[in-house]
A and B are shown apart, each in its own frame.
Chain A
Amino acid sequence: MNEVRSVTGAATSAATTHRRTRITVRGMALGDFVLQNGTLLIVIAVLALIAGVFWVVLASSMPTIHQFGWQFLTNQAFDPDHNSFGVGPAIFGTIVTSVFALVFAAPLGIGAAVFLVEFCPRRARTSLAFFTDLLATVPSVVFGLWGFLVLAPWMQHSGEPWLKLHLGFLPFFVGTPRGVGLLTAGMILTVMILPLVIAIAREVMQIVPNEQREALLALGATRWEVVRYAILPFARVGITGGVILALGRALGETIAVTLVIGNQANKISPDLFATGYTLPSVIANQFGEATPGLFRSAVIEAGLILIVMTLIVNVLARLLIARMGRHHRVGGLVA
């Protein structure tokens, strides 16, 4: 209330100090004209900057695009000595680790969100929600540090040998336990995208009108049936969008993955113990040595492919989330 009063005060003083100006441009006061068109210019500058990012990356990838064409996507060598470049293993590693993360983070995250929105005691709800939102902002280098120094050694000595012993009949757990590799990278990614899935699923479910819940409860439904028949059908599109958004995050995660994936390309196989590369980790590892010419262009084209992949995933996610209603910009600050 105080704030409103002081602001009305400001309005009055603004009115009294304002000299009536005669300068107009196209029927607008000069100030209005400057403000409106000035901010419009800034918006155009931002759009130009976005276009510039795409353009610079595309233009600088041209040497390898001309040289290798589509083979760049499948070639398994990244060999500066023989000028043979390709990102087959990196695309494979990117997809395997991200899909791995999604397979585990999606059910866990949606389950946790259902609990937070529908089942959690009211008193704990806000603080738990605050905590999960906080986790979405923990920098990836922190996860990388922990993954490299704690998780990877543990996986090498306990986790992977255990999996090999008990699940070794599966083609996923057959190689030499190294600690670093696709499996550890996938696990770190799972942890990292989990808060994002929780946050978006939670936001979407909160949009569901309370009448829906009450109507179903009045019919004698159990709490789960309310979720199953009133909440999830309503929120499904938005939750799917959120999960895809999390996939986009996983595809582009650089630092944590680079620290735990081993950065050594292997023959493409279902073995999750194998070390590998992802597109971002190729960039992070190779740019330092990248000599001008094909080598540099190859590093940049890895970025180009990453942009294309994340762009497709993000546009899809945004369209799905937008269908949840124009008035709710779901995703807030974490997305």
Chain B
Amino acid sequence: MSTPLPFAAPQTAATTRRAVVNGVAIAFTTSASLFAIAVFLVIILYVLGQGGQYINLDFFTQLSPPPGQSGGGVGPAIQGSFVLLGLASLFGIPLGLFAGIYLAEFGRTSNFATIVRFFIDVLTGIPTIIFGLFAWVLIVVPSHSFSAYAGGVALGIIMIPIVTRTTEEILRLVPTELREAALALGVPEWRTLLQVILPSVSRGLITGLLLALTRIAGETAPLLLTAFGNSFWNDGLNHAIDALPLRIYNFAQSPFPVQVHQAYAGAFVLIILLVLTSFGVRLATGGFRQSVR
């Protein structure tokens, strides 16, 4: 400042004002991010801290204790979550996967494909409780029983747009040369796809499926109307079944401290699951992009 450089612009009121505005803007955006991150750290760390204390083997394998007693776990919820994820996968993965293959391989830029993409994007914006409502009207009401099937259908619909979108995006990353190499060797298109293209992106596809599964593993609203929850082990797919998020929702409102503790422990499990898959996916996609590009 004492010896201004020969080419430096002169300090005027305007430049000072610009510098101040610049400083204010940087301060605001910095504090906005810090605030956002702090809020989340407070919430996540609190839930993790509360839940972590109550994690033990019994939590995953035992029935919840009668009100007023301690110990036990949420075994049926763990069982139910696995069953529901399985059913949802049976329903959602084939539909999503093949729809994604169609869009990437055959639809490409056709008007029909654009319309399909639009509707699939719209599907991601529909609140998930609507799919619960759908399965409730279609399956639960006629059969007079909450069921694992209904829950699987509701969750499966939620998976479809996620799987479709990741499948399509990953297939588009495959270099044309690969396809041309196979076709030049006289391999028909369908064999090129099944034996050359899909194996080359298998890691990406699995990543997409994992993301979809993680997403529905935490869904509660659609299960409320379909799987409903069950304090005991499930004894058939056409009966009510428990799920971890449902159990958290129900126990959060419980007057018994043991059950509230188990709700926190359930949330702990969900968050850890999420963090693990996110890191896994990040590692996998990082490696994936490097090997393809």
Contact = CB atoms under 8 A, between A and B. Distances in A.
Interface of A: 1-4, 7-8, 10-15, 18, 21, 29, 31-32, 34-36, 38-40, 42-43, 45-47, 49-50, 52-53, 56-57, 60, 107-109, 111-112, 114-116, 118-120, 128, 130-135, 137-146, 148-150, 191, 194-195, 198, 220, 222-225, 227-228, 245, 248-249, 251-255, 259, 280, 283-284, 287, 296, 300, 303, 306-307, 310-311, 313-315, 317-318, 329, 331, 333, 335
Contacts of A7: 178, 196, 199-200
A227 B24 CA distance: 13
B187 interface: yes
Interface string B267-293: 100110011001000100000000110
Which has the most chain B C-beta neighbours within 10 Å: A7, A45, A146, A311?
A7
A191 B40 contact: yes
22 contacts: A7-B178, A8-B178, A11-B178, A18-B188, A32-B189, A36-B106, A46-B120, A57-B130, A108-B36, A134-B275, A142-B43, A144-B220, A145-B249, A145-B263, A224-B22, A224-B25, A254-B224, A259-B249, A283-B133, A313-B125, A314-B126, A333-B162
B215 interface: yes
A49 B161 CA distance: 12
B275 to A, nearest CB: 7
A14 B198 CA distance: 13
Contacts of A118: 29
- Consensus secondary structure, chain B interface: helix
Contact of B252 (A108, A149, A191, A315): A149
A14 B187 contact: yes
Interface of B: 9, 18-19, 21-22, 25-26, 28-30, 32-33, 35-37, 39-40, 43-44, 46-47, 94-96, 98-99, 101-103, 105-107, 116, 118-131, 133-134, 136-138, 141, 157, 160, 162, 164-166, 169, 178, 181-182, 185-196, 199-200, 211, 214-215, 217-221, 224-225, 245, 248-249, 252-253, 260, 263-264, 267, 270-271, 274-275, 278, 282, 291-292
Which has the most chain A C-beta neighbours within 10 Å: B134, B182, B186?
B134
Contacts of A149: 252, 260
Contacts of B282: 130
B285 to A, nearest CB: 10
Q: Which 6 A-B pairs rank lowest in CB-CB distance, beginning with the nearest?
A: A252-B127, A139-B218, A111-B32, A314-B125, A39-B102, A31-B190
Given A10-B195, A43-B102, A56-B137, A29 B46 contact: no
A135 to B, nearest CB: 5
A11 B126 contact: no
A287 B253 contact: no
Nearest to B106: A36
A139 B271 CA distance: 8
B122 A315 contact: yes
B245 A141 contact: yes
Nearest to B188: A29
Contacts of A314: 121-122, 125-126
Contacts of A195: 36, 40
A252 B190 contact: no
B214 A280 contact: no
Given A8-B181, A259-B253, A198 B133 contact: no
Contacts of B32: 107-109, 111-112, 115
Contacts of A128: 33, 37
Which has the most chain B C-beta neighbours within 10 Å: A12, A56, A145?
A145
Given A40-B106, A259-B249, 15 more contacts: A14-B196, A21-B188, A36-B106, A39-B101, A43-B99, A119-B29, A128-B37, A134-B278, A143-B43, A149-B260, A150-B46, A198-B36, A287-B224, A307-B130, A310-B127
A12 B181 CA distance: 9
A55 B134 CA distance: 9
Contacts of A307: 126-127, 130
A10 to B, nearest CB: 5
Contacts of A306: 127, 129-130
B150 to A, nearest CB: 12
Given A15-B187, A32-B190, A191 B39 contact: yes
